[in-house]
Amino acid sequence: MYLFKLIDCLVQGILILGGVVVCCSFKMLSTECIGAYIVVGSWQLINVWVHAVNYRPAVKYRARRIYLVSLAILTAIVVPLLMTDMVLLALMGLLMGSTGLAFLYLGTCIAETEQLMRERKETSAE
């Protein structure tokens, strides 16, 4: 799991950095910028499912629970708005909310990877 989490953190960092570069290079609501959001968000949602199935940390980070609750709240607010004439408001909410969630999730993954690194060092030292 350590190698997976290390690769996960690196890929997330690269995708987020790439997304920031793309959004700074084009108009904020351009097709390229929205595509970058979709790529980063998709990667992170896939990771949420992989972690839910395969990863049981020794220390549970509160940030992971905050991320999951925030994701559920954002989804619960936005999905009903998509079915009304307030679609633009829903999309702007997703645009703003998902940015914060992306950085929160990256920070959580980095902390969990550091925990795994410490556990590996302790195990190899014994």
Q: Using one digit for the tens of pLDDT, what is the confidence trace for 92-120?
A: 777 778 888 888 888 888 888 888 888 88
Instruction: Read off φ and ψ for residue 11, nearest 5 degrees.
Output: -65, -45
Task: Report the share of the chain in percent with pLDDT over 70.
Answer: 93
* CA-atom Rg of the chain in angstroms: 17
Domain span at residue 37 reads 2-125
Is pTM, for the whole model, over 0.85? Answer: no
Is the CB of residue 44 less than 8 Å from the CB of residue 11?
A: no
Per-residue pLDDT band for 79 (boundaries 50, 70, 90) equals confident
Whole-angstrom CA distances from 22 to 17, 69, 100 are 9, 29, 17
| Domain count of the fold of the chain | 1
SS3 content of the chain, % helix, strand, coil (to 5): 85, 0, 15
Q: Which residue has the higher pLDDT, 77 or 2?
A: 77
How many angstroms separate the CA atoms of 20 and 33, rounded? 8
Asked if pLDDT for residue 91 goes beyond 80, the answer is no
Distance between alpha carbon 89 and the CA centroid of its chain, in Å?
A: 22
